[in-house]
Amino acid sequence: MTGAAGTRVARAALSRLFEPSDAVGPTLVSLVGPDDALRIARRDLTAGSQVRRMLQEALGTSGGRRDPLDDGLSRWAARLGDLAPERDLATLERLGGRLLTPESAGWPEALDDLQLAAPLCLWVRGRKDIPERVRTAALVGSRDSTAYGDSVTDEIAAGLATRGFSVVSGGAYGIDARAHRAALASSEDGELPPTIALLACGVDRYYPAGNEDLLRRVADSGLLISEVPPGSSPTRWRFLQRNRLIAALSAVTVVVEARWRSGALNTAHHAAGLGRAVGAVPGSVHSANSAGCHRLLRDGSAVCVSDAADVAELAGPLGSEPGDREREAASPAREQDGLAVPDLLLLDGLPRRAATTVDKLSSVAGLSTRDVISGLARLELAGLAVRAAGGWRRREG
Amino acid sequence: MTGAAGTRVARAALSRLFEPSDAVGPTLVSLVGPDDALRIARRDLTAGSQVRRMLQEALGTSGGRRDPLDDGLSRWAARLGDLAPERDLATLERLGGRLLTPESAGWPEALDDLQLAAPLCLWVRGRKDIPERVRTAALVGSRDSTAYGDSVTDEIAAGLATRGFSVVSGGAYGIDARAHRAALASSEDGELPPTIALLACGVDRYYPAGNEDLLRRVADSGLLISEVPPGSSPTRWRFLQRNRLIAALSAVTVVVEARWRSGALNTAHHAAGLGRAVGAVPGSVHSANSAGCHRLLRDGSAVCVSDAADVAELAGPLGSEPGDREREAASPAREQDGLAVPDLLLLDGLPRRAATTVDKLSSVAGLSTRDVISGLARLELAGLAVRAAGGWRRREG
């Protein structure tokens, strides 16, 4: 097989051969392309000294004891017998999925920011397109979320979905599952963006088992995405690498709850490393499940977010409703807001019951008679002062 | 009266004549000194054209319609009849207090950072010295604090006191009162730094009335401080100005709880404006009493603090116990912490029950046979892998 179809199959094969972010593989692909990279890995093609030298230079290993390609070849050798990309692609098709590659339409450009750590391809289940980055927000957090974390996740995910954001997460228990569920519940009302679950295993597997029903619903109404082929198990390494895809695909990554050590912090650091916005939801200082969020806030890695409006604002231009402005509007203005200093001093000096004179006000407020008189006129206009028997008194708001 | 004693009395008098941060008074004092400033204010001395010009220049009002000194003189005129500085000083002495001025020993140098907004003098009740700034931390917040805010205040104030910090606050209901109480309770155990209440009224008054007992205890074991003379009422203006003194006297200002609009935010902004550290305690996003704290965190005005160790660290060199390090130590390390990537991949691939072979591990982990063998040796040493019938398996931690 040659040409575009061949490249597609080659990428599918390489995604089984190389672990995500293999130290050598992606660089080899960048130098010789996926087709020749696969041939070299299968030993159908011998890499010339020029390729070896370029590889050494690209990896900064020139002069090292071992040749990096030999390292790679010995790693990949053990998996050559498992290669069956056509079978994997057929499995994906049976599941209603499709393979996306950098060469195909619909490839998310956001992943190019990962440079050499970009995935070789994406195994995708679900009918919808991956939305452009400005329309996506990741919600991640503890597997053992608290009732607080659950309710905040519900609110933020629903709010993001109704604002037109695709909610991205990892399909795990706890915060991830709540985020997907709330996004699905919101999108059932209309044609809202798909919720996206980035998996550490193949998209034919439902992991963790307790989330099978949820993941099936995501596959139906949203998108299940993985960089490893069908049949692959979730390993710790793949979970860690999967996190970089969540971060790269999303305009903003929000950690809702996380312990002091938590995989969610790893996702946040990936996002920060890519220059993406990172948010953290505050919580009780007594909750171990918020300690990781507070850690991110404390070291300046994340911005404090309290609701969907905050997250939308952080995501950038599309999130055009500033949370602050909403709260400003919701917070009742106080009667003295906007008063200049002399009028504030005067208002402070005005008694609420018995009236007082201009002279007394001048002494109490520390203002000249002239300032007292002009100030009283302004306060009267503002409905804060009233003329009474014996002078002036304060008018209750 | 002339010389140092005269200057002292002049400052006492001016502190009644001028409202805190009077727009003209402190500048006049900086130009001609407190003695002549008082004479000018009393019209015992006529300010020459040179003084008027310097004042205009200093205030940036040259060319303005009205002369700033005339403005000031007309403001101050109404209070000239109330001047009785010797009586005020006698009142203070009866209360066991003392007047501190920039000319006297014990004047807190930290206030000099306020420049022209520095107070003219401090009316102080209590026997102890005002600690140097590096030993002080302000805790401020809502008057209508929640149980959460109360308990966090108790923990942080007690932790700061036992770490040798003087706890500074405003003597109000809610967070302020809890901070003073917890600091007093801690200092009863030994000779700890005094808790300091900065008042918006004279130090002879107990405001608010419900805090009378507390304020009496602060006067006994700590310090009550005000820039306005005995008998002065607390006004909104004085509360706002008092906040700048809390901020200026403290190495760090921590907002424990605050609504979206709250006087505590004003104190925080004063502290930030002075280049002082500002902390905010996170809380539930559903609590209106934490909205102000989250606002500070969100706009980058404050650092997230969870406990006394965090606050001490923020205060600077004396707070030598990094909160992060404490929590790092308290958080149990996981078995895989510190493993290199190939060993992590290998650990992921090791079964927990039936043993597996080096060849299978090579395929599962995507590692060369050589890396599997050397990795297994390292994992065995680390107690994470064990030889078993048929090869290797994982050893449970």
Please check whether residues B308 and B351 belong to one and the same domain.
no
Please check whether residues B313 and B355 belong to one and the same domain.
no
Decide if B369 and A294 are in contact by the 8 Å CB cutoff: no
A165 touches B: beta carbon within 8 Å:
no
What are the CA-CA distances from residue B160 to residues A294, B283, B309, B310 (Å)? 20, 20, 8, 10
Nearest to B236 among A81, A290, A344 (CB): A344
Evaluate whether residue B262 is within a structural domain: yes
pLDDT at A208: 96
pLDDT at B330: 61
Nearest to B236 among A324, A348, A359 (CB): A348
Nearest to B307 among A281, A285, A371 (CB): A285
Please check whether residues A246 and A357 belong to one and the same domain.
no
DSSP state of A356: B
Evaluate whether residue B165 is within a structural domain: yes
pLDDT at A226: 98
Decide if A294 and B304 are in contact by the 8 Å CB cutoff: yes
Q: Which residues, 6 or more positions from A91, have their beta carbon under 8 angstroms from its beta carbon?
A: A204, A230, A231
Evaluate whether residue B162 is within a structural domain: yes
Interchain CB contacts (distance < 8 Å): A and B: 160
Please check whether residues A216 and A296 belong to one and the same domain.
yes
Q: Which residue of B has its CA nearest to A147?
A: B284
How far is the alpha carbon of B184 from chain A, nearest alpha carbon, in Å? 23
Number of residues that this document lists for chain A: 397
pLDDT digit string, tens, across residues B124-136: 999 999 999 999 9
pLDDT at B381: 84
Decide if A78 and B304 are in contact by the 8 Å CB cutoff: no
Per-residue pLDDT at A244 exceeds 60: yes
- Over the range A124-149, which residues count as b (16 or more CB within 10 Å of their CB) and which as e? bbbeeebbebbbbbbbbbbbebbebb
Per-residue pLDDT at A58 exceeds 70: yes
Nearest to A282 among B297, B366, B371 (CB): B297
How far is the alpha carbon of B269 from chain A, nearest alpha carbon, in Å? 17
Evaluate whether residue A98 is within a structural domain: no
Evaluate whether residue B89 is within a structural domain: no
Looking at B276, B307, B330, the residue that finishes a domain is B330
Which residue, among A58, A55, A92, has the nearest Cα to A70 in the 3D structure? Answer: A55
B positions 167-196 inside 8 Å of A (CB): none
Interface test with B, best of A368, A370, A372, A374 (most B CBs within 10 A): A368
Looking at A330, A353, A379, the residue that finishes a domain is A330
A367 touches B: beta carbon within 8 Å:
yes
Set of chain B residues whose Cβ sits within 8 Å of the Cβ of A261: 331, 334
pLDDT at B397: 55
Q: How many CB atoms lie within 10 A of CB B173?
A: 16
Q: A86-90, A324-328, B372-376: which has the highest mean pLDDT? A: A86-90
Please check whether residues B324 and B355 belong to one and the same domain.
no
B positions 226-255 inside 8 Å of A (CB): 235-237
Please check whether residues B210 and B301 belong to one and the same domain.
yes
Please check whether residues B196 and B295 belong to one and the same domain.
yes
Place of tokens 């007309």: B74
CA distance A233 to A245: 17
CA distance A250 to A262: 19
Q: Taking residues A32-41, what's their average pLDDT?
A: 96
Q: How many CB atoms lie within 10 A of CB A162?
A: 15
Q: Which CATH number do you get for residue A354?
A: 1.10.10.10
Per-residue pLDDT at B323 exceeds 60: no
pLDDT digit string, tens, across residues B384-395: 888 888 888 998
pLDDT, mean over chain B? 91
pLDDT at A183: 96
How far is the alpha carbon of A331 from chain B, nearest alpha carbon, in Å? 7
A2 touches B: beta carbon within 8 Å:
no
Please check whether residues B13 and B132 belong to one and the same domain.
no
CB B217 within 8 A of CB B189: no
A353 touches B: beta carbon within 8 Å:
no
Q: Taking residues A322-326, what's their average pLDDT?
A: 53
Q: Using CA atoms in the order A138, A140, A145, A151, what is the torsion angle rounded to 10 degrees?
A: -20
Range of the domain at A356: 341-394
CB B256 within 8 A of CB B156: yes
Evaluate whether residue B271 is within a structural domain: yes
Decide if A291 and B305 are in contact by the 8 Å CB cutoff: no
Q: How many CB atoms lie within 10 A of CB B275?
A: 7
What are the CA-CA distances from residue B175 to residues A202, B145, B183, B281, B317 (Å)? 53, 6, 12, 12, 26
Q: Which CATH number do you get for residue B191?
A: 3.40.50.450
pLDDT digit string, tens, across residues B53-79: 988 888 877 666 678 899 999 999 999
User: Regarding predicted confidence, which is higher, B317 or B392?
Assistant: B392
Please check whether residues A20 and A130 belong to one and the same domain.
no
DSSP state of A144: S
Nearest to A285 among B75, B282, B359 (CB): B282
pLDDT at B377: 86
Domain count, chain B: 3
Please check whether residues B58 and B126 belong to one and the same domain.
no
Please check whether residues B361 and B222 belong to one and the same domain.
no
User: Regarding predicted confidence, which is higher, A191 or A328?
Assistant: A191
Please check whether residues B253 and B349 belong to one and the same domain.
no
- Give the helix ranges, DSSP H, for chain A: 3-17, 25-41, 49-59, 68-77, 85-94, 147-162, 175-187, 212-221, 236-249, 263-273, 291-298, 308-315, 323-330, 341-349, 358-365, 369-381
Interface test with B, best of A22, A150, A299, A306 (most B CBs within 10 A): A306
Looking at A330, A354, A374, the residue that finishes a domain is A330
pLDDT digit string, tens, across residues B73-93: 999 999 999 999 999 999 999
How far is the alpha carbon of B216 from chain A, nearest alpha carbon, in Å? 26
Evaluate whether residue A92 is within a structural domain: no
Decide if A328 and B260 are in contact by the 8 Å CB cutoff: yes
How far is the alpha carbon of A60 from chain B, nearest alpha carbon, in Å? 18
Set of chain B residues whose Cβ sits within 8 Å of the Cβ of A282: 282-285, 290, 293-294, 297, 304
Task: Flag whether the pTM goes above 0.90.
Answer: no
pLDDT at B63: 65
Decide if B305 and A328 are in contact by the 8 Å CB cutoff: no
Three-state SS for A139?
A: strand
pLDDT digit string, tens, across residues B329-378: 566 666 667 788 888 888 888 988 888 888 889 888 888 888 888 888 88
Q: A78-92, A382-396, B350-364, B380-394: which has the highest mean pLDDT? A: A78-92
Per-residue pLDDT at A245 exceeds 90: yes
Per-residue pLDDT at A214 exceeds 50: yes
Tokens read off for B388:
């078993």
Nearest to B285 among A78, A152, A344 (CB): A152
Range of lowest pLDDT (A191-195, A280-284, A318-322, B225-229): A318-322
Range of lowest pLDDT (A378-392, B86-100, B151-165): A378-392
A positions 68-127 inside 8 Å of B (CB): 71, 74-79, 81-82
Per-residue pLDDT at A27 exceeds 60: yes
Evaluate whether residue B100 is within a structural domain: no
CA distance A312 to A163: 8
Set of chain B residues whose Cβ sits within 8 Å of the Cβ of A237: 341, 344-345, 348
